[in-house]
Amino acid sequence: MKSWFKKTLITGIILILPLAVSLWIVITVFQRVDGIFRPLIIKFFGFPVPALGFLFTFILIWLIGIIGTNFIGKRLFAKLDQLMLKVPLFSVTYGTTKQLIDAFEMGQKIPFKKVVLLEYPRKNLFSIAFVTNIAQGEIQDITPQKLVTVFYVTTPNPTSGVILFVPEEELIPLSMHPEDALKLIVSGGFFTPEYPPNATAITLPATV
């Protein structure tokens, strides 16, 4: 009786979890975005209209994008940049964000695209890392080896980690998809991506 109760309860949790997590993420994002214009909508209509704020934000961003892609728009936004950089205090955050976005844009490549295995923190210990860039500037100038910038993430929450500059020849490239690598990290090594990719019946779980 007790084991039946335990078994059914665990099965229930396993069944509800994917749905609960998915709904929670979608609802949280939706509410955040919807919330930006909510105070304005309430002021305007006198009552909250769900999803209108979301729609509004979406259209506004789209509109800015349409304006920003043509010639007149580009000039307009360049003027705005110059103006913003003159506002004290504000200019610090504006300038930094702008620089970071430009850095991503100039590279024209999405970071975290490549997954590598490296011996970190010492020989014979292996860690997964994501290639973010090729080291440039001072860091590359004062080192003889060709360095690659990699991001080594924490487990199970991969939103923080460590940046490392690794000589290119010390990296072991992995063919696994970054999404799969993230799953591997979040699951603490339990989710093992298929290898070789697209082959069937290779990902049988390890029976430790």
Partner 1 sequence: MTNIKTWAKKTLLTGIILILPLAVSIWIGIIIFHKVDGIFRPIITKILGYQIPGLGFILTFLLIWLLGIIGTNIIGKRLFSAFDKFMIKIPLISIFYRTTKQLIEAFKLTKKLPFQQVVLIEYPRKGIFSIAFIMNEQTGEIQALTPQKLISVFIPSTPNPTTGFLVFVPEEDILPISMHVDDALKLAISGGLVTPKNVRASEQNIRHSVD
Query: Rule CB under 8 A: which residues touch partner 1?
Result: 5, 7-19, 21-23, 25-26, 117, 121-122, 124-128, 152, 154-157, 160, 172, 174-176, 183, 185-195, 202-208
Output the 3-class SS for 86-134: CCCCHHHHHHHHHHHHHHHHHHCCCCCCEEEEEECCCCCCEEEEEEEEE
Least distance between partner 1 and beta carbon 44 (Å): 25
First to last CA, the chain: 30
Least distance between partner 1 and beta carbon 40 (Å): 24
Least distance between partner 1 and beta carbon 60 (Å): 20
Beta bridge partners of 167: 147
Name which of 43 and 123 has its Cβ closer to partner 1. Answer: 123
> Taking the CB of residue 34, how many other CB atoms lie within 10 A of it?
21
Name which of 10 and 103 has its Cβ closer to partner 1. Answer: 10
Least distance between partner 1 and beta carbon 43 (Å): 24
Residue 13's φ and ψ, nearest 5 degrees, are: -65, -45
Q: How far apart are CA 121 and CA 9, in angstroms?
A: 41
What is the amino acid identity at position 183? K
Name which of 15 and 59 has its Cβ closer to partner 1. Answer: 15
Nearest residue to 166 (alpha-carbon basis) of 126, 109, 107: 126
Q: How far apart are CA 182 and CA 112, in angstroms?
A: 10
Least distance between partner 1 and beta carbon 116 (Å): 11
Least distance between partner 1 and beta carbon 122 (Å): 5
In a 3-state reduction of DSSP, which class is residue 196? coil
